Every structure is written in structure tokens, then in C-alpha cells.
């Protein structure tokens, strides 16, 4: 062959030149795996001394006793760690005006929330590291704390970052139509409510955990962690630890739950990686449960002033609200802490025709743990605002809550269209979902039964929620704002000599069944038994580049990439088979691990074909160069997001003497496009509903006025248990998305997004005959009794 492109003569070519072997540096360094007489360093275990104050100046820090403690390998203060880590700032350019101060892995000079790391100890065991951390003497000058989001912007409130002049991080207003004129009309009924949402967190079964290893001979960092986005973290470690990106390997294999909690940049994890690089030894950090409650991101800390105007026939004339959210002292890097409020603005009222819409969000700093994206980001607030006001308005005009939804839901045949906030919508089925829900729950019978029981002093209620879920996000979500977060995902399929498929995908597995779905798609599209498919995810060294798992994108984006790669590989195989069998590719197929004719008659096994290619290539024409491997990437291009929709209902019983709420039944009808694995989808919905019920009735991170987190154990942070959970009935409407061949939308967050509104509406349906209602989550017994005037 000729060299038409002068590949070997270019100035930067290495061909024909003497270069060191790739392992030469290891041999010269004397620390590599090829040297037998060098003792490799043992793993160090990290523990962090954390600030006991919500806001304090670090006057002095004495680590001498800790460094002298037996078994201690190293101690880092914030100032010392700052020499090795470039600070990071959590802003995105498309969130205009968002600001946040530079952040360090360990506090430098000032600690800004209780639990912020102020020193790191690395020792030969975790117990030793914790003992040494207790020997560190820190002199604090406690500062006034700004803990209450509702007073964060008041003139007398301490400013957390003086350079900013106030505690405002970001604000935005959406204003569509003539809201003021709509509320001023004589023919409308107006309802107004103040809604409060308690901050809570993910409580993953497996806490955050990391093991970092640095190989100085290759200038290479390997970081194993319990997380969701390996390629994002690869970029972050490279940028902030001063390494080439190709010298950073991040591995996130099977993860014990994440729910969005493990998709962020945590200072203790960055410090673990930096310490491994500095010390040239492996370093391990595992958060204990108290650390998880104090430092895993929180979410949902919102106060909303909302109002809705409806006509006599139930039509929504206007919807308006002001949302205030406290995010902690920094905006989380790199996804930022303004996304949740932005989602509330974008998603509120999205299922409905709302001609006049005004929404304002203000995001403020406070001296509490940082807030950021957690499962169903912003959805529980957005759905509760609109559906809560809608059912309140229905009660005010004497209209059935199902009827008022049917009056206002967007028509199923009206897509594509846009929501009031401008979100592009397509392929939704709100009316079909509501019809299926009413049928599933036997609504009329249940209403009659509740009325009869009320006469006996038993107070039961039914609440609904019509909802949307953001899934399959495009680059418009993060990439457009400059974040190192891929909206695409990739899949690679390779046919082995034995006839099996080796599959690699950039999405990650957190227990939601992604690997099973990927195997299903690969096996079904390509044509092999599913047990012959081996799936690899979560390793930046072996999988294609991609975004990982977030925003319910595994099946919709990762699955579509897998489908396209399987089709490409199948085409390759059939081209080879056609040559070997003297047939046309269009007359062949692959079924059950064999190449067949169009009628399904086996002609040759895939293993025979693969071995011919790999071992006996001389039997093939010289111009046929099969690779038997295919990689494809996929991203959504036509819409910023692909929306899933659903209809949900809760049936509850409220005890007015104790304030206790019992959820009797819950129904969810979801349209997530093509359902690939019904059991996995149904259990994702059920798991989401459980978390939604948790936020509605049980879960809240409680702080003192001084910023002390009061519940840092599973004994006093309540999560829903099996005994509190109802039967959760799931059904589906399938409207495939037009954005892909597979047609799959996401399903992982709908339950969490819609359940709180349904439960709140059900509780208020039960309380309304008693002359009261409740608009604060979680709806604890104490709060219900207060609403009833009994405490």
C-alpha cells in the first residue's frame, strides 16, 4: 500500500524514531511492578476533622500531636491541601447571574457549615485516623450564622461571602401572558397558599466511599468510588490535581444506591485523591452514617408563595408563585445548586394549559450543608405547587379533582407543543393516563366508600397528581453552560471468538438494572441468547465516553447507543457471512447465536464465523476487512429533554386524635415510552414512590437556629419502612418518543416527583371536612395536629 497522506513523514510522527518503552519510566523509577525488592506502600485510611460550628473563623490549628500519634501517615490542613488542589466554582454560564465563591476540599481560614472538613488525617487504619483527628486542636472564632433562608436577604443577616454584598446566589423570573389582568378578572376564583418543603437527603444503603491510588512512575491516578459519573470525575481530577486527563482512571462499578447524591464533587473525595497523589500510596475514605447526613448533599429546602385563578368551569386562568430556596454556603460543583430552583420554574404547570404564568425563583446562601440535585430534581416542588393549588381551587368551586384535570390537561393529540414556561413537549398521554388511573383505582367506588366512612368518624382522603418527568437530557441541560458533563452515551459491542458478545457502555449501574437492560437490547437486536452477553460499565479505561447515570437517561440514551451499536455489528457480521455462504446480506439474519436464512434455518454459528475471521483470515477476500466490533454514541438532538408523563393517586387515612397518616393504597400510571423490562420499570416506579412518600410524611434534615444538624442517625432521621408502605399499583401507557429508534423514555424519578403532591392532596382531602388543610412537608403528626388546632 502507498502512503498518500505522508503518515510516516509528518513532524510529529513517532514512526521510525527511537522512543522509550512505555514501561521504561517504571523501571527507572524503581517503584513499578517489575521491581521485586521494593516494598510497595500500604494503603492509608482517611478520617476528617469537621467543623462543629455553622460559621467560624479558624484562628489556629495545631496538628503536631496528631502527626506524632503512632500509625499516622500524614495530616493535611486546609491551607496545606490547597497547595495541591486548584479551587473550584459551581457556576454555569446559561444560568445567567449565578455566583458562588471558590471552594477548597478542606476549609481554608473560615468554616461555613457544620460538618465542613477542617483537617484530614491519614493513618494505617480508620480507627487510628479517627483517634488522631481528636488530638487536633483548633481555635475557632465563632461567627454569626445565616441559617434561615427566609431571612437570608434581610439587611441585618450576616453575609456569608462579604465580596458579594448579600446572600443572593441567583434569581430568575418567567413571565408569560398578562398574569395581573387574569387575577383581576371578576369571573375567577383565586386560591393562595404558602407551601414549605423540608430539606432531606438520599440515605443511600451504601455510603459514599473511595479508594485512590497514584502510580508516580506513570503519573497516573486510579480512583475507585461509589458514584454515578466516572467521565465527569475524570475531568475534574485531571483539572484540579494538575494531571493529563488520559492519566486519570475512574472506576464506579456496582453502586449501592445513589439517587443523585453521588453525582457531585465532594471535598473529602477530592482530598482523598490529592492525598494519594502527594503521598504516592493508596488512600481509602468511607463516610460513616453521621458524615453522610452532614455532608451528602441535601435537597428540597423551599418556601413557595403560590396562587391560582380558575374560572367557574374550572379552567386555569393564571398561575403565579415565588420560590425561595436555601442552598448552603456554596453552589455545588460542577452541576450547581441553582438547577433545582430552575427546574421548579420550568416544570410547574407543565401538564396543563396555563395561559398566564409568572414564576420567580431566588436562591440564597446559608450556613447549612450544601443543597443540590437529588432524585427528581425540583419535580416534587413543581408538582405540589400546581396540583396542590389545582385541587384547592377545585374544592373552592365545588368541582371534582379528576374533572378539573380533564378540563385543563393538554390534549393527547396536541403535541408537539410548549408548556407555559416554554418547555418543548412531545409524545405525552395525560388524558389516557388519567383514564387508566381512574379505572385502576375504581375511583367512584372509593369516593362513595370514603363518604360512608366519614359518617362513622373515619377520615380518609384521595389525592391526585398529573406529572411530567425530565428524562434523556440533551446538551442544553449542562454542556451548554460549560460543565464537563456529557449528554451523550456510548456503547461498544465485540463478537468474541466463542460467539459471545462483550459489551461496554458509559452508563453506570446503581442497582436500577441498567446492565440487565443493556444486555437485553444487545442480545435482542444482535441475535444471541442473553446469557452470552457480558456487560461492562463504569470504568473510564474500558468503556466509551459518556455521561453516566443521571436524569433517567440510562435506557433512553445508553440503550439507544447500545441498539445502534448492535445494529452496526450485526451488519458487519452479515456482510462477512454473505461472503462465506455465497448469499446476499439481506437474505440472512442472526438468531439464537447462529447466522440463519430468512426462514430461520441455521447456516453457520457465530463462533464459526468469528474464528474464521480471527484465525483463518486467509480464507476471506483481501478486500474484506471485518472488525467484528462496533461503537456508537447517541444524544438527543431535537428537544432539550424527553418528557415522561404519568398520573398518580394516593388513598390515605388521617387520625385527627394523633395526627398520624396511614397511606392505604397508591396507584401510578406512567408513560415512559417503550417498556424494555416491565419488572425493572415497575420496581423503579415503586422505589420512587417510596422515596416520595418519605419526603411527604417522614424525612427532614432538622437544624437548630444556630445551624446545628440535629438528626444524624437512622434513629432520629425517619425513612419509610416496609410497615408504613401501602400496596403500590403500577400500570402503563406506552407512547414511544420520536427522538430515537428504541422509543424509550426515562422511568427512574417519576414516583419521587409525583408522590408527594398526591399524598399532600389526599391528606388535605381528608382534612377539608374538618375545616383545615396542611401545606408543609413532611406532614408530621405534630404539624397535622397544629393544623387541627389541637396542640
> In 3-state terms, what secondary structure has residue 341?
helix
Percentage of the chain modeled with pLDDT above 70: 95
Q: pLDDT tier at 21 (50, 70, 90 boundaries)? A: low
Are 309 and 189 in contact by the 8 Å Cβ rule? The answer is yes
Residue 254 has pLDDT above 90, yes or no: no
Of 476 and 510, which is predicted with more confidence? Answer: 510
- Residue 2 scores a pLDDT above 90: no
pLDDT of residue 438: 98
Task: Work out the average pLDDT over 229-237.
Answer: 96
Mean pLDDT across the stretch 261-288?
A: 97
Q: What angle do CA 309, 310, 311 make, to 5 degrees?
A: 130
pLDDT of residue 480: 86
Residues 430 and 139: their CA atoms lie apart, in Å, by 59
3-state SS, one letter per residue, for 243-254 = CCHHHEEEECCC
Say which residues have a Cβ less than 8 Å from residue 370's Cβ, sequence separation at least 6: 113, 297, 298, 327, 328, 329, 330, 331, 332, 337
128-162: pLDDT as tens digits: 999 999 999 999 999 999 999 999 999 999 999 99
pLDDT digits 0-9 by tens, 620-634: 998 998 899 999 999
Q: Report d(CA 380, CA 755) in Å as an integer.
A: 8
What secondary structure, in 3-state letters, does 343-409 show? HHHHHCCCCECCCCEEEEEEEECCCCCCECCCCCCCHHHHHHHHHHHHHHHHHHHCCCHHHHHHHHE
Which of 296, 353, 327, 632 has the alpha carbon at shortest distance from 491? 632
pLDDT at 22 over 70: no
Q: What is the pLDDT of residue 579?
A: 96
Which of the four pLDDT bands, split at 50, 70 and 90, describes residue 442? Answer: very high
Q: Which residues contact 472 (CB under 8 A, 6 or more apart)?
A: 551, 552, 553, 556, 557, 636, 641, 642, 737, 739, 740, 745, 746
- Looking at residue 550, what is its pLDDT? 85
User: How far apart, in Å, are the Cα atoms of 384 and each of 329, 343, 467, 759?
Assistant: 27, 13, 10, 10
Instruction: Place 35 in a pLDDT band, splitting at 50, 70 and 90.
Output: very low
CA angle 374, 663, 393 (to 5 degrees): 80
Among 480-484, 599-603, 689-693, 706-710, the least confident range? 480-484
pLDDT in tens, 478-528: 888 888 888 899 999 999 999 999 999 999 998 889 999 999 999 999 999
Confidence bin at 25 (pLDDT 50/70/90): very low
Tell me how far apart the alpha carbons of residues 391 and 404 are, in angstroms, rounded to a whole number: 8
| Ramachandran assignment for 194, one of left (phi > 0), alpha (psi -120 to 50 degrees), beta (any other) | beta
Mean pLDDT, rounded, for 733-740:
96
Based on C-alpha coordinates, what's the Rg of the chain? 29
Look at residue 36 and tell me whether its pLDDT is greater than 50. Answer: no
Number of residues that make up the chain: 791
- Judged on CB neighbours under 10 Å (0-12, 13-18, 19+), 686 is middle
Q: How far apart are CA 178 and CA 117, in angstroms?
A: 49
- Write the burial class of residue 205 (CB in 10 Å: 0-12 exposed, 13-18 middle, 19+ buried): exposed
Label residue 566 by pLDDT band (50, 70, 90): very high
Q: What is the pLDDT of residues 160-206, one digit of tens each?
A: 999 999 999 999 999 999 999 999 999 999 999 999 999 999 999 99
Alpha helices for 134-212 (secondary structure H): 179-184
CA distances from 592 to 388, 549, 606, 630, 723 (A): 52, 30, 9, 20, 44
Note the pLDDT of residue 477: 82
Beta-strand pair 44-50/283-286: parallel
Backbone angles phi, psi at 319, to 5 degrees: -140, 130
Q: Tell me, what's the pLDDT at 15?
A: 57
Q: Is the pLDDT of residue 570 over 60?
A: yes
pLDDT per residue over 102-116, tens digit each?
999 999 999 999 999
pLDDT greater than 50 at residue 28: no
> What gap in Å lies between CA 269 and CA 123, rounded to an integer?
16
* Structure-model confidence comparison of residues 478 and 9, the more confident one: 478
Mean model confidence pLDDT for the chain = 94
Q: What pLDDT was estimated at residue 526?
A: 96
* Domains of the chain with bracketed CATH: 4-32+488-634 (3.30.365.10), 35-143+207-255+261-295 (3.90.1170.50), 376-473+640-787 (3.30.365.10)
Distance from C-alpha of 470 to C-alpha of 477, rounded to nearest angstrom: 10
The yes-or-no verdict on residue 18 having pLDDT over 70 is no
pLDDT value for 31 = 42
CB atoms within 10 A of CB 239: 15
Query: Mean pLDDT, to the nearest integer, of 389-418?
Result: 98
Please write the tens of the pLDDT for every residue from 572-581.
Answer: 999 999 999 9
pLDDT at res. 476: 80
Residue 416 preceded by cis peptide, ω within 30: yes
Q: pLDDT band at 474, cuts 50/70/90? A: confident
Q: Residue 789 burial (CB < 10 Å; 0-12/13-18/19+)? A: exposed
On the question of pLDDT at 298 being above 60, the answer is: yes
Banded model confidence at residue 27, pLDDT cuts 50, 70, 90: very low
Amino acid at each position: 500500500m502507498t502512503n498518500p497522506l505522508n503518515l510516516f513523514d509528518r513532524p510529529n510522527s513517532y514512526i521510525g524514531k527511537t522512543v522509550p518503552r512505555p514501561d521504561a519510566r517504571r523501571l527507572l523509577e524503581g517503584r513499578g511492578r517489575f521491581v521485586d525488592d521494593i516494598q510497595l506502600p500500604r494503603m492509608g485510611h482517611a478520617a476528617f476533622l469537621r467543623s462543629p460550628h455553622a460559621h467560624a473563623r479558624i484562628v489556629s490549628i495545631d496538628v503536631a500531636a496528631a502527626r506524632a500519634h503512632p500509625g499516622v501517615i500524614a495530616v493535611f490542613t486546609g491551607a496545606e491541601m490547597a497547595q495541591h488542589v486548584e479551587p473550584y466554582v459551581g457556576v454555569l454560564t446559561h444560568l445567567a447571574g449565578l455566583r458562588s465563591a471558590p471552594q477548597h476540599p478542606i476549609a481554608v481560614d473560615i468554616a461555613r457549615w457544620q460538618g465542613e472538613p477542617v483537617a484530614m488525617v491519614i493513618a494505617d487504619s480508620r480507627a487510628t485516623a479517627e483517634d488522631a483527628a481528636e488530638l487536633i486542636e483548633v481555635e475557632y472564632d465563632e461567627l454569626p450564622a445565616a441559617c434561615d433562608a427566609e431571612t437570608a436577604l434581610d439587611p441585618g443577616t450576616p453575609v456569608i461571602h462579604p465580596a458579594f454584598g448579600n446572600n443572593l446566589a441567583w434569581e430568575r423570573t418567567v413571565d408569560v401572558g398578562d398574569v395581573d389582568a387574569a387575577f383581576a378578572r371578576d369571573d375567577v376564583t383565586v386560591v393562595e397558599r404558602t407551601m414549605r418543603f423540608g430539606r432531606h437527603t438520599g440515605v443511600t444503603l451504601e455510603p459514599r466511599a473511595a479508594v485512590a491510588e497514584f502510580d508516580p512512575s506513570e503519573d497516573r491516578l486510579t480512583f475507585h468510588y461509589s458514584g454515578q459519573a466516572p467521565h465527569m470525575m475524570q475531568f475534574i481530577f485531571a483539572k484540579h490535581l494538575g494531571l493529563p486527563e488520559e492519566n486519570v482512571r475512574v472506576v464506579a462499578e456496582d453502586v449501592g444506591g445513589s439517587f443523585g447524591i453521588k453525582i457531585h464533587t465532594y471535598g473529602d473525595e477530592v482530598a482523598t485523591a490529592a492525598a494519594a497523589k502527594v503521598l504516592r500510596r493508596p488512600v481509602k475514605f468511607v463516610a460513616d452514617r453521621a458524615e453522610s447526613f452532614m455532608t451528602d448533599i441535601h435537597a428540597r429546602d423551599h418556601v413557595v408563595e403560590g396562587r391560582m385563578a380558575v374560572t367557574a368551569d374550572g379552567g386555569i386562568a393564571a398561575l403565579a408563585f415565588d420560590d425561595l430556596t436555601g442552598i448552603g454556603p456554596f453552589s455545588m460543583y460542577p452541576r450547581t445548586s441553582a438547577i433545582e430552583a430552575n427546574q421548579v420554574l420550568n416544570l410547574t404547570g407543565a401538564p396543563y394549559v396555563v395561559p398566564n404564568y409568572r414564576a420567580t425563583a431566588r436562591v440564597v446562601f446559608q450556613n447549612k450543608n450544601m443543597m443540590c440535585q437529588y432524585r427528581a430534581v425540583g419535580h416534587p416542588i413543581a408538582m405540589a405547587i400546581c396540583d396542590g393549588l389545582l385541587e384547592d381551587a377545585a374544592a373552592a368551586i365545588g368541582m371534582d379533582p379528576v374533572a378539573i384535570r380533564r378540563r385543563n390537561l393538554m390534549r393527547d393529540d396536541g403535541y408537539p407543543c410548549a408548556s407555559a414556561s416554554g418547555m418543548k413537549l412531545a409524545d405525552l398521554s395525560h388524558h389516557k393516563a388519567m383514564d387508566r388511573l381512574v379505572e385502576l383505582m375504581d375511583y367512584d367506588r372509593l369516593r362513595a366508600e370514603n363518604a360512608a366512612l366519614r359518617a362513622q368518624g373515619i377520615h380518609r382522603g384521595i389525592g391526585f397528581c398529573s406529572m411530567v418527568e425530565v428524562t434523556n437530557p440533551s446538551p442544553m441541560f449542562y454542556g451548554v453552560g460549560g460543565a464537563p458533563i456529557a449528554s451523550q452515551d456510548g456503547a461498544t459491542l465485540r463478537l468474541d471468538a466463542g460467539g459471545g458478545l462483550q459489551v461496554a457502555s458509559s452508563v453506570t449501574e446503581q442497582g436500577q438494572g441498567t446492565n440487565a437492560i443493556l444486555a437485553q437490547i444487545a442480545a435482542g437486536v444482535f441475535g444471541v441468547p442473553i446469557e452470552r452477553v457480558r456487560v461492562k460499565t463504569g470504568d473510564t479505561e474500558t468503556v466509551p465516553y459518556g455521561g453516566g447515570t443521571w436524569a433517567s437517561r440510562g435506557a433512553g440514551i445508553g440503550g439507544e447507543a447500545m441498539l445502534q451499536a448492535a445494529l452496526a455489528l450485526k451488519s458487519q457480521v452479515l456482510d462477512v457471512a454473505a461472503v462465506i455462504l455465497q448469499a446476499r446480506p439481506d437474505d440472512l439474519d442472526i438468531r439464537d447465536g447462529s447466522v440463519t436464512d430468512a426462514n430461520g434455518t441455521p447456516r453457520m454459528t457465530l463462533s464459526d464465523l468469528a474464528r474464521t475471521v480471527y484465525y483463518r483470515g486467509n480464507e476471506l477476500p483481501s478486500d474484506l476487512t471485518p472488525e467484528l466490533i462496533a461503537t456508537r454514541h447517541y444524544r438527543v438532538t431535537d428537544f432539550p429533554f424527553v418528557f415522561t408523563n404519568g398520573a398518580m393517586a394516593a388513598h390515605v387515612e388521617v387520625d385527627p386524635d394523633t395526627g398520624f397518616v396511614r397511606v392505604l393504597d397508591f396507584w401510578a400510571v406512567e408513560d415512559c415510552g417503550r417498556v424494555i423490562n416491565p419488572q425493572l420499570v415497575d420496581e423503579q416506579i415503586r422505589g420512587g414512590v417510596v422515596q416520595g412518600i418519605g419526603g411527604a410524611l417522614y424525612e427532614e434534615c432538622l437544624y437548630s437556629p444556630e445551624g446545628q444538624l440535629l438528626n444524624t442517625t437512622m434513629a432520629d432521621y425517619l425513612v419509610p419502612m416496609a410497615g408504613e408502605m401501602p400496596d403500590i399499583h403500577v400500570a402503563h401507557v406506552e407512547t414511544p418518543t420520536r427522538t430515537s429508534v428504541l422509543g424509550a423514555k426515562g422511568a427512574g424519578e417519576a414516583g419521587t416527583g409525583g408522590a408527594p403532591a398526591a399524598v399532600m392532596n389526599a391528606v388535605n382531602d381528608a382534612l377539608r371536612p374538618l375545616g383545615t388543610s396542611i401545606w408543609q412537608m413532611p406532614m408530621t403528626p405534630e404539624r397535622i395536629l397544629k393544623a387541627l388546632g389541637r396542640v
